[in-house]
Amino acid sequence: MNEVPLKFVEYQKIIEPRSVKGQFRNIKTIILILAFVTYFLLPWLPWSRDIGPNQAVIFDLSSHKYYLFNLVLHPQDILSLAILMVFAAAFLFFITTIAGRVFCGFFCFQTIWTDAFRLIERLIQGDRVTRLRLKKQKWNFEKVRKVGLTTALWLALAFWSGLTFTLYWSEAGQLLVDFFTGQAPLAAYMCTAILTTTTFLAAGMAKDVICMHICPYSRFQSAMFDENTAIVSYDKVRGEGENGRAKPLKTLKTQEDRTKAGVGDCIDCNYCVQVCPMGIDIRDGLQVACIHCGLCIDACDNIMDKQGWAHGLVSFSSENALAKKKTSRFGIRTIGYGLASLIAGAFLVFSVVNSAKLTVDIAHVRSPLYVVLSDGSIQNSYKFKFYNMTSKPATFDLSVEGLPNAKVDIGKLKHIELKASRGLRVSVRVRQASADVKRNANQPIRFKLTPIKGEFEEAIIHPSQFITP
């Protein structure tokens, strides 16, 4: 989108957006409510499990397990996490090529929390004009009361946001009691304090400054746009005609009068600028600071309704659509990111569904590589590490294949018995009688775990080697 000028917004001390009603405002409010309900209530949602905490979502640091409803992730599932990140990035790029920065405008934590902080501010201090007046007036009882109450409520929301995040990392009920009775771990207090401070500063004090000057995503997102990307756009041809914008003076009230005078439909009311949380004028073209929240569309639609004119002077529209050219929703870039999302999504589902229920690490003891016993037989030693990732105990018989007449010794144990969701280390020795030994060889062997009890049905084979003199 080379022809569209990109402008960096100068730092402004205060952006005091005006409230607005409309479809995009409603969508943002619904997303805010859903996000808050999910975030604040999820740690309190009970969940029944055979083994593990009865909390639907908990990142249990003590047992190194992450419980997401019926899904239990172990540190060994790091690959799934990596695929999830790739999927999220590809999907985000896919959405950006279709509809610009809608993630920023509707779903980003910074936007959602800033929206909530602004709502509190508006409820206490009033709408834009009243707030601007309050900011300019000298400190008196009214100003102290309003600013104090706003700050107190902001701090309360920031604290509860920080504490809720901490509650995800342990059993919420117990941690909450411990937290307020001074019994919680130091990390819980530190985590809550850091998040309270950062939430207060980012959503309450910095607000749009984060999006404009700190978030790196805004810097490269516009590189993903093309002529078909639906972005928030001002229809300059309709808005300005041949002679530009004009207030609806007596002689310019109707569209017919305005067409005759060569002016467009923009009545230069500035409502779209006043509602913008980033303080920009969309009529100046696409700007890096625009988070595609759609509030200027709502504002302009309200004005068009009052004038009795059609919506769409400001709208989600592509460069091609504005130029009345053919618009294709799926350009090369969109198809590419879409395919990448699909592939990453398929890998993610595959890796979660097929994640190993049992991990087995075998280390051949190197020092010594082998031992010649008094009867001439050869012995190799191995260190086994098992991890049973199921929620049921499991028992296996351990044997070895590929080594004629070899015997497996697991000390005092009869079988490998694994507790549910637990690991086990076992020292294993494999012996072969002197007559059967193939000299001077590194023989490939296979350890076979035959299930006796538990969720496992098929034998599990792991390759290793047997070293002889």
Q: Does residue 263 interact with ligand SF4 by CB under 6 A?
A: no
Q: Does residue 267 interact with ligand SF4 by CB under 6 A?
A: yes
Q: For ligand SF4, which residue of 290, 403, 418, 428 counts as binding (CB under 6 A)?
A: 290
* C-alpha dist (Å) from residue 268 to 57, 125, 239, 253: 51, 27, 9, 13
Size of the site for ligand SF4 (CB under 6 A): 29
Q: Which is nearer to ligand SF4, 304 or 362 (CB)?
A: 304
Q: Which is nearer to ligand SF4, 259 or 442 (CB)?
A: 259
Q: 35: how many CB neighbours lie within 10 A of its CB?
A: 18
Q: 394: how many CB neighbours lie within 10 A of its CB?
A: 22
- Piece of the chain touching ligand SF4 by CB under 6 A; list 113-121, 292-300, 388-396, 425-433: 292-300
Q: Does residue 106 interact with ligand SF4 by CB under 6 A?
A: no
Q: How far, in Å, CA of 104 to CA of 96, rounded?
A: 10
Question: H-type helices in 76-180, by residue range?
Answer: 78-99, 102, 109-125, 128-136, 141-167, 172-180
Q: Does residue 167 interact with ligand SF4 by CB under 6 A?
A: no
Tokens linked to 257 = 């009068």
Q: For ligand SF4, which residue of 23, 38, 270, 427 counts as binding (CB under 6 A)?
A: 270
Shortest reach from residue 35's CB to ligand SF4, in Å:
18
| Three-state SS at 157 | helix
Q: How far, in Å, CA of 162 to CA of 173, rounded?
A: 16
Q: For ligand SF4, which residue of 120, 124, 210, 313 counts as binding (CB under 6 A)?
A: 313
E strand map for 303-410:
314-317, 358-364, 371-372, 378-388, 394-401, 407-409
Backbone φ, ψ for residue 39 (5° rounding): -65, -45
Q: Which is nearer to ligand SF4, 269 or 362 (CB)?
A: 269
- Piece of the chain touching ligand SF4 by CB under 6 A; list 69-77, 184-192, 293-301, 404-412: 293-301
Whether residue 441 contacts residue 395, with contact meaning beta carbons closer than 8 Å, is answered with: no
Backbone φ, ψ for residue 13 (5° rounding): -65, -50
Q: Does residue 282 interact with ligand SF4 by CB under 6 A?
A: yes
Q: Does residue 83 interact with ligand SF4 by CB under 6 A?
A: no
Crossing angle between the packed helical segments 109-125 and 128-136, to the nearest 10 degrees? 70
Q: Does residue 99 interact with ligand SF4 by CB under 6 A?
A: no
Q: Does residue 102 interact with ligand SF4 by CB under 6 A?
A: no
Shortest reach from residue 309's CB to ligand SF4, in Å:
9
DSSP 8-state code for residue 173 = H
Q: Does residue 108 interact with ligand SF4 by CB under 6 A?
A: no
Q: Does residue 286 interact with ligand SF4 by CB under 6 A?
A: no
Q: For ligand SF4, which residue of 95, 195, 278, 378 counts as binding (CB under 6 A)?
A: 278
CA 327 from centre of chain: 31
Q: Which is nearer to ligand SF4, 77 or 265 (CB)?
A: 265
Q: Which is nearer to ligand SF4, 174 or 270 (CB)?
A: 270
- Piece of the chain touching ligand SF4 by CB under 6 A; list 6-14, 278-286, 324-332, 418-426: 278-286
Q: Which of 319, 184, 175, 304 is closest to 248 using CA atoms?
A: 304
Q: For ligand SF4, which residue of 202, 300, 400, 437 counts as binding (CB under 6 A)?
A: 300
Which residue is associated with the tokens 């309050």? 134
Q: Which of 49, 83, 168 is closest to 352 using CA atoms?
A: 83
**In one letter, which amino acid is 261?**
A
Q: Does residue 231 interact with ligand SF4 by CB under 6 A?
A: no
Tokens linked to 168 = 């995800």
Backbone φ, ψ for residue 462 (5° rounding): -130, 125
Q: Which is nearer to ligand SF4, 86 or 215 (CB)?
A: 215
Q: Does residue 294 interact with ligand SF4 by CB under 6 A?
A: yes
E strand map for 319-457:
358-364, 371-372, 378-388, 394-401, 407-409, 416-418, 423-432, 442-453
Q: For ligand SF4, which residue of 292, 319, 338, 432 counts as binding (CB under 6 A)?
A: 292
Q: For ligand SF4, which residue of 266, 348, 400, 437 counts as binding (CB under 6 A)?
A: 266
Q: Does residue 9 interact with ligand SF4 by CB under 6 A?
A: no
Shortest reach from residue 302's CB to ligand SF4, in Å:
8
Q: For ligand SF4, which residue of 98, 295, 348, 418 counts as binding (CB under 6 A)?
A: 295
Q: Which is nearer to ligand SF4, 99 or 176 (CB)?
A: 99
Shortest reach from residue 272's CB to ligand SF4, in Å:
3
Q: How far, in Å, CA of 72 to CA of 352, rounded?
A: 10
Whether residue 132 contacts residue 376, with contact meaning beta carbons closer than 8 Å, is answered with: no
Q: Which is nearer to ligand SF4, 188 or 296 (CB)?
A: 296
Residue 431, strand partner residues: 379, 407
Which residue is associated with the tokens 């690959």? 79
Q: Does residue 303 interact with ligand SF4 by CB under 6 A?
A: yes
Q: Does residue 104 interact with ligand SF4 by CB under 6 A?
A: no
Name the residues that contact ligand SF4, by CB under 6 A. 232, 234, 239, 266-272, 275-278, 280, 282-283, 290-296, 299-300, 303, 313-314
